[in-house]
Chain A
Amino acid sequence: MRIPILRIGRILLASIQVEMSDSDALRFQNDVVQKIAEIEALGIAIDITSLEVVDSYMARVINDTATMARLLGAEVVVCGIQPYVAMTLVEMGRDLIGANCVFDLEQALLRLQERIAARGDADLDKGS
């Protein structure tokens, strides 16, 4: 099951709408990194509203993906973590999600735009 990664100007949008297997998650990570590099994305929003379970492995993949995106030069915002998922992650004893988080996609896009604007180095509409 491949997670579609949409492009709006130089911002990417990935909404995980299905339960992912571990291999789906790794493929997603790979696709995100490739796509960011390909279009020199300024930012990416990763929506995990539909994920009902985020265990230590999935949390690590999301974390790593965010770090990889940052290393490439893109801003990253994760949105839509379910309340029970947040509870479970913390109860498991780790702050596993190290990425910047907001409630929903709308806030994610606003946050990305703010952060990109603060960098002051990019034209949102021009691909490269």
Chain B
Amino acid sequence: MSTATRGGMDMQLCIAEAMDVVRARADARQLAALIGFSPADQTRLATAVSELSRNILQYAGKGHCEMSDISTDTTLGIRIVFEDNGPGIADISLAIQDGYSTGGGLGAGLPGTRRLMDQFSIESRPGLTRVTIALVRRRA
């Protein structure tokens, strides 16, 4: 199930099944393109969205993400917030280390995503995990 609403340059997506990950990364790329990000940045963003929405599916089962245009007169900006009500991340500093995984993965997702983005923050407790990423570029 996926629902998308676009008011202005914002959109919200449910993430509850494998195809939602595919949709989320396609939507992120599209929004980034509309805002005016370069193809390289569109790819970085789509990749980050793919990693984080997969994490929601894998660890929480379902959740949602909200993508917002945060551009200003002098900058292009996009912010995406991922939220789920899963068990939470027990140790965030471990979770963002290379090679650490509790889910049988490579442990490359979170640390890799962090390197791709300008801003990356995690808040997590049992019942609510929120990961916020943003990409900001000076206007050409």
Contact = CB atoms under 8 A, between A and B. Distances in A.
Q: Do A and B come from one complex?
A: yes
A84 B54 contact: no
B115 interface: yes
B22 A84 contact: no
Interface of B: 18-19, 21-22, 25-26, 29, 39-40, 42-44, 46-47, 50-51, 54, 98, 105-106, 108-109, 111-113, 115-116
Interface of A: 19-24, 52-58, 60, 82, 84-85, 87-88, 91-94, 96
Contact of B98 (A23, A55, A93): A93
A93 B43 contact: no
B22 A93 contact: no
Contact of B106 (A19, A22, A56, A84): A56
Nearest to B48: A55
A20 B22 CA distance: 7
A90 B42 CA distance: 16
Given A53-B46, A87-B40, A19 B112 contact: no
Contacts of B106: 56-57, 60, 94, 96
